[in-house]
Every structure is written in C-alpha cells, then in structure tokens.
Structure 1
Amino acid sequence: MSHPTVKPPSGTRRGRPALAVALAVAVLGGMALAAPASAGTVRKNGSDDAVQSSLDKVVRGGELPGALASVRDADGRVRDYTAGVGDLKTKAEVPVDGQVRIASNTKMFTAVVALQLAGEGKIKLDAPVEKYLPKLIRGKGNDGREITTRQLLQHTSGLHSYTAGMPSIFKIQHRYTEPHVLLDTGLAHKPDFAPGKGWAYSNTGYVALGLLIQKVTGRPIGEEITERIIKPAGLRGTYWPGIGEEGIRGPHPSGYAAKKPGKQAAESLADVTRLDPSWGWAAGQLIGTPSDLNLFLAALMDGKLLKPAQLKQMKDTMKAPGFPAGWTYGLGLLKIKLSCGGYAYGHGGDIDGYETRTGITEDGRAATIAVTALPTTQAAADKVNKALDTALCS
C-alpha cells in the first residue's frame, strides 16, 4: 500500500510508504454543493483558488481520471473540491466528498486501537509480541519473542512486507484472502533487518497488529475500529467492508488501473472499482470520504480518541528512508514538513484504483486529497504531494 517514490509500472505492489508518492487525475474540473457534514460545520463548494488550481494541475496531464479533496479549517468549516471525471465511460462528474478506498490510512485506525488498548493496560507496547500471539511469528529468522508491539507500529520490526512482489490486480481482483495467509506470505521471507535495527514499511507488521488486537479483545478488528473510532468520531462515510464485499456503498468515483505495464493513458485504464479488499485487511481495508479523514484527524489531535500519553507516543517520530526530506514516521502516523513552515501529521494510502493523502497541522487545519488511479510517473506523484501541501498551507 505504498512505495518510496513511484509505483513500478509492472502493476505489482511494492511495500510503498504511504505518503511518499503523489496524487493525480485527468481533465475537466467540477464542483458541487454538499449538505452540511455535521452541526457547526459549513460545507461549500470549492472556488477558483489555490487548492482548486493544484487539483486541476494534477489531472491536466491525463494520467489519472479524477480527483477530490476536502479542506477543514481550525473552526471546523469545510470546503470540498473535485477535478477530472468520475467515470471514463459515462463522463459523470466526480462526486463531491465521495467514498474511496483509503488503503494505508487504515494503519492510523489500527494504530489508534492498539494505543487505546495500551492506555487501558491491556497490552504493553514494549512487551514481546509473543506474549499476545504465542508461536505465531516464526520461520526464516522471524521471531515474535524478539519483536515488540511498538516496533510493529513504527515499521521497525524487520518483518518483510507481504505486498512486495504481489501479482497484478487483475489476477487477484476478486480473490478473498485470509489474514493468516497474508502474514504467512510475509513470514516466508527472511527479515529485512533485526528488530529495532532499521526502518522499512511493512504491511505484514500491521496484519500482525490486527491479529494481536483480535486476540486481546476477542472481537474482529473491523468491529473494534468501528466501535472505538468510527462511531465515536462521527465518521458517517467510513466503514469496514464485510467479508466478500467488493463494491463501495455510497456515491463514489470509479477507480482505475493500467491494463498494460507502463501505460497510463485513459484508453489503457481498466475499471477496478469492484475488488476484494481483504488483501489489505488491518493494513489497508477501510473505505471512507476525504472529509471523514479530516474529521478523524481532528478528533485524534483533540485528544478524543487517545489519552495524552499514548497520543504523545504516536507523534514521536523517527527517520523513514524513502520518504521526502523532512518527513518522519511515528506509531502509525507520519509527520510531514510543509513548505509554509511547520509540520502536519497524517498518512496516506495506495490501492489499485485509488490513492489518498491526508494531514492536519498543529493549529487544526486538515486536508485530504484522493485520486482515482495510482500515478506511475514522478511528475504526477510530485503534483499530488504539492496539492496536499497547498491545501494545508493556503
């Protein structure tokens, strides 16, 4: 669900750090008026401002079909934007604040649940994972007795990411995969490094976290995320897809993937909106809206989801090789250096059909941008990061 630079044109998914690539979209900008998201929130359609201009640039090259964004100010006022087209076949507009697969943004939700359990005294971040998942992490030099929950959260466990070398989406689009199969796929490889001796983005680590949460709570990870985060934070457009659920429930733009390696023109794109997201699981299965991601970040930073001690640890970051200069990684949370000075906290996610980038500043300004395909050129990727930076700095 992410890569340090640009997704390889082969169609395989490497282990891509979730905010290092950029966004994109095709031609034609469009906006529409949406109803208020919640009491005290004013939502209005985007105007010809810096954010709209940045989205228009993202789609102008035609590499990606559509884009949508939501920007929330410190007082909770919301402005939404769209650009490009929502469906290449019908030429339908991009739905304002439509639902998309948020992919590795799911990691923030999984991390919050784990940190809540730590705050409740049910797990210890620096205890061996073996304590909660006895004899599960074994083989090829992987050993749960040497790995801690904190290392899983911060990608310092050394567990090889199961997404490295995955087959084309067209081979697994409708295949359901059990979480233990995902874990075993990662454990079939030697560790990337000894626990705590390096940093490498690992979807395998977050699958292990999901299994750990289920073992400790006795409930499914999707239910824990729903009851502990989605409902309390009032995220009305965010949900955990059920087993075998391939569609997207609410208004949404179509998502696309290149049919041939290295081809990203509109005529080479195939609709992959319907797919089985089980291969993402606790590392990337959620569906949500841009405004919901902003609302989640606001609730998180306002201390509504975590106790102060756990939020402080989540925001404690370290160098993350492969990310842009000045970007560091905490416990399921990325710290992003802004061109206007200061930093934002957020994440991002890549899954075939959709890419999202999100962040919130210390003073409460939040932005999320989504596009409906994965950029395959550095230029498109840079435009996406620029669009997020513009939304947070404007």
Structure 2
Amino acid sequence: MTHNINSRISRRVGATALAVTLLAGAAVGSALPAAAGQPHRPELQQAIESLVDAGFGGVQLRVHDQRGDWVGSAGLRKLGEPGKPPTNGRFRIGSNTKVFTATLVLQLVAEGKVGLDSPAADYLPQFALDRRITVRMLLAHTSGLFNHTGEYYPDGTVVPGIPWQGKEWVDLRFHTYQPAELLRYALAKPPRFAPGTDWNYANTNYVAARLLVEQVTGRPFAEELQRRILRPLGLRDTVSPGAAPEITGPHAHSYYRYQDAGQWQLIDVTRQNPSWISSAGDMISTTRDLRTFFAGLLGGRLLPAPLLTQMRTPHPKSGFGLGLRVLEAGPSCGGTLLYHNGGVIGSGTLLYSTPDGSRTMEASLTAGDSAADPSAVFQQAQEKLVNLVFCGKLS
C-alpha cells in the first residue's frame, strides 16, 4: 500500500511544482522536546528529524488523530544559531492560499452575488476576458489562461513568465507587482487551450479570483479575508501580506541557493515581497491556524453543503476540485484525503485532512544550506508524512 499511495501522490502533485522547485537546502539541528500533555509519538519526531537529515533546514509538524493532538519541530530556526523552529511559528503557506481564495469566491456565490457558471468577464469587465471563461473555470484551473509564472509543456517546452527563481528573482525579490498587472501580463500571452477543454494549473486563475472578490465587494482582498474567514474562525496568526516583506511574530528563517556567474550563492530569503504570486500563494499562517481553518471549512462553517461538495469534486484529469485537491488513498490510508500543498522560495507547506476531519496534518518545511535536490526532498517529505500519519506506515 505504501508504494501505491506514493505513486498516487506523485501523480497528483504536478501542480505543486512551484513549491517543489522553490525549496532549497537545509541544516541539521536537534529536535524540540515534546509539548507537555501531548501523546508520546516518537515515530513523528523521528520522521521530521529524518527530513532535516535529508535536506531541510527546519520542520514544524502538527497532527490530529484518534490519539489526540501532537506538535513538534526539528532542525534550526536560523543558520548559525542554536535555537530550534517554534512549534507554532509563522511561515509562508504558498499555494495553500488558493484554498482561502476559493472559499471567498464561493461565499459570494452562496450569497447570490456571483454566478459560479457565469462569465468571469461579467465581474471583471476592464480586462476583456474571453467570455467563455466562467468563474468555476478560474477556481478549477480549466480556464486556459496563461500561467503568469511560466508555462511548462509535456514535450519540455518552457514559456517563461515573470521571474520567480534564480538570480533574476533574487535581484527583484522586493519588487512590487499589482494584481491587475499580473493578469494583464498573462492575457497578453496566448492561452494554453480553449476555455473548459482541458486542465492546467495556473496561478493567474487565482489572481483573477482575487480581483473578482475586490470588484464584487468593493473592498480590498485582505479586508474581505479578515471579515469573512480570519475573524470568524479566530485565525489571529494568519495574514494576506500584500507587498509587505516581513514575517512578524515567531518564525523560522528560510534560505535559497542559486547560481550567479557559475558560482553557488546562499541568501536568507525570509524577507521577500510575495506580490509576484498574489492571492495564488502570498499568505502567512501557522500550523494551528491552518488546522482551524481546514476544520472550519470541511465542517461547514464557511460554506453551505452543496458548494462544499462542489469544492471537493475533482476534475478527472487532475484530482483538483475548486481550490482543493482530492486523493483517493485507499481504505487503509483513510480513504479519501483532501489536501493542498504549496511553497514560495525557501519554504513549503503540507495540508491534509480526511473529509470528516478525524485525521489532519499540517507541516511547514523551511530550506537551509543543503545542496540536496529540492524536488526530491519535498517529494520525500510529502510521501513520508502522508504514509506515516494516514497509513500508519514508516518509510
């Protein structure tokens, strides 16, 4: 069963290539002691320590199951210092932001302010969108819009987008992009396919969704997020930072290795302007807040049941619903798992739950100074933790 779930995960994570390729490196450190009053779970602690050994700088993990709640961390908070990652530190959640963005749009659908199968152009008339593109297609990644972070074709062809890696990104890491600028940039490129005829993960879809929320409500995205989700659920450590580069509050540092004139360089990228990814991946949160959010969403506190069902209904090609991914893991691994993964340069996030919330897992992975292949390390982390938490299998 371990092999099967690994292969299923591998097939379903193609859309998280952003997270995979942005991670780089690690430094080994000792683990924090278990929190007082929580179950003794040495297998979980050993798993995150092994991920540090494999190439991550720091790992935070939160697990909820029939044995109770467990939190732990391993590695270093900052290179060159002895402190450990905080067990509920803040981190950049990358594409897990899309789950929040999709929820906001679907709340507007529930209120009758947006039609899920209406043309997105009706709500964004200033962009001259193809009228065949519906709101549903934006959330499901079936719009065909060019991905403003670049397109990668099966034959190996790459059509570059805005800089998001390498020295070019390093030099621009504090540059501010406006959401409308990103959408117009994508619209100036040829679409990937005709709307509704295929599936392709494109961050542009969720930038358009952000602009739709702002246009319909007349309020900034961050304000709507606070009003509709963060405040009702008590998510005090979660924020949509816009162009602000800081992570406030306790957090681990993250690093990036890149080549400059043939030489490898290492820099601290904890401070970076996330406006290049906008509402497709800019948010900051904690493992505790992510668990509260996912429990509230799946428990029906944010959306009516019919829309939640649609959110959880996967596209046959991708396993991606409306902002959520669906993995059929088999009966010995919890059956159906709902999840999203994500990353920005220097950090990655895992977010998994059974549909009833009886088993959940949230993890933050920060990069250090290792030269390990970031793609392989991220894949190893995903497979190891999912197999352990949901299948009860050590790998």
Q: Same fold by TM (over 0.5)?
A: yes
Aligned residues: 359
Q: Which amino acid aligns with 1:279?
A: W
CA contact (8 A) 1:46 1:81 kept: no
Cα distance change of structure 1 residues 240 and 376 upon mapping to structure 2, 3 Å threshold: same
Which residue of structure 2 aligns with residue 151 of structure 1?
Answer: 137
Unaligned runs of 5+ in 2: 1-8, 151-159
Which residue of structure 2 aligns with residue 210 of structure 1?
Answer: 210
CA contact (8 A) 1:303 1:311 kept: yes
Residues 102-251 of structure 1 mapped to structure 2, 5 A cutoff: 102-138=93-129, 143=130, 145-164=131-150, 165=160, 166-167=162-163, 168=165, 169-241=169-241, 243-251=242-250
Which residue of structure 2 aligns with residue 392 of structure 1?
Answer: 390
Q: TM-score if structure 1 supplies the norm length?
A: 0.83
Q: 2:295 aligns with which of 288, 293, 298?
A: 298
1:329 aligns with 2:326: no
Cα distance change of structure 1 residues 130 and 378 upon mapping to structure 2, 3 Å threshold: closer
C-alpha separation between the residues in 2 aligned to 1:287 and 1:219? 20
SS in 1 for 2:190: coil
Q: Which amino acid aligns with 1:362?
A: P
CA contact (8 A) 2:18 2:344 kept: no
C-alpha separation between the residues in 1 aligned to 2:113 and 2:355? 30
CA contact (8 A) 1:5 1:378 kept: no
Cα distance change of structure 1 residues 294 and 32 upon mapping to structure 2, 3 Å threshold: same
Residues 264-303 of structure 1 mapped to structure 2, 5 A cutoff: 268-303=265-300
Query: Larger deviation: 48-57 or 153-162?
Result: 48-57
SS in 2 for 1:175: coil
Cα distance change of structure 1 residues 269 and 81 upon mapping to structure 2, 3 Å threshold: farther
Structure 1 or 2: more helix by fraction? 2
CA contact (8 A) 1:162 1:182 kept: yes
CA contact (8 A) 1:66 1:253 kept: yes
Q: 1:215 deviation in Å?
A: 0.6
CA contact (8 A) 1:74 1:363 kept: no
C-alpha separation between the residues in 1 aligned to 2:31 and 2:195? 48
TM-align CA RMSD: 2.8
1:370 aligns with 2:375: no
SS in 1 for 2:256: strand
C-alpha separation between the residues in 2 aligned to 1:106 and 1:135? 25
C-alpha separation between the residues in 1 aligned to 2:174 and 2:19? 26
Q: Which amino acid aligns with 1:311?
A: L
CA contact (8 A) 2:132 2:195 kept: yes
Q: Which amino acid aligns with 2:316?
A: K
Cα distance change of structure 1 residues 228 and 117 upon mapping to structure 2, 3 Å threshold: same
C-alpha separation between the residues in 1 aligned to 2:19 and 2:336? 14
SS in 2 for 1:346: strand
C-alpha separation between the residues in 2 aligned to 1:317 and 1:157? 15
1:314 aligns with 2:314: no
SS in 1 for 2:246: coil
Q: 1:183 deviation in Å?
A: 0.8
Q: 1:194 deviation in Å?
A: 0.6
CA contact (8 A) 2:298 2:356 kept: no
1:69 aligns with 2:61: yes
